[in-house]
Amino acid sequence: MIVEVAEFKVAAQDRDAFSAAIARAASTVLAKAAGYRRHRILSCRESPGRFVLTVEWDSLEAHTVGFRQSPASAEWRAIIGPFFQQPPHVEHFDVAADG
């Protein structure tokens, strides 16, 4: 398993609209992707326009090849992309410990 961590920055006044859009996109697009396990969307209290998305994938390739190279990726981007103030920062992590 791999964990994708994506940070999004949107205008503070778009916080509620983006929150609704990413939740909708995650449940209707992302959750249907092969290799998807689950996700969590975090909204920062101190920085109202900052969000972090974590997605558990079966493998790195499930995200970087299977999802990113599929038509679903363009659909995902069409829903949430218009809110971006800058490109998202995305990294992939191995789980070092669980609590």
pLDDT digits (tens, 9 = 90+) for 33-88: 999 999 999 999 999 999 999 999 999 999 999 999 999 999 999 999 999 999 99
Does 99 fall in a domain?
A: no
Does 98 fall in a domain?
A: no
What confidence score (pLDDT) does residue 18 get?
Answer: 98
CA 27, CA 53: separation in Å to the nearest integer?
Answer: 13
Which pair of structure tokens corresponds to residue 43?
Answer: 């909204």
Contact 3, 92 (CB under 8 A): yes
What confidence score (pLDDT) does residue 76 get?
Answer: 98
- The mean pLDDT of 13-28, rounded to a whole number, is 97
Structural domain harbouring 34: 2-93
What confidence score (pLDDT) does residue 61 get?
Answer: 97
Please name which of 50, 32, 48 lies closest in space to residue 89, comparing C-alpha atoms: 50
Q: Residue 88: which CATH number? A: 3.30.70.100
What confidence score (pLDDT) does residue 4 get?
Answer: 98
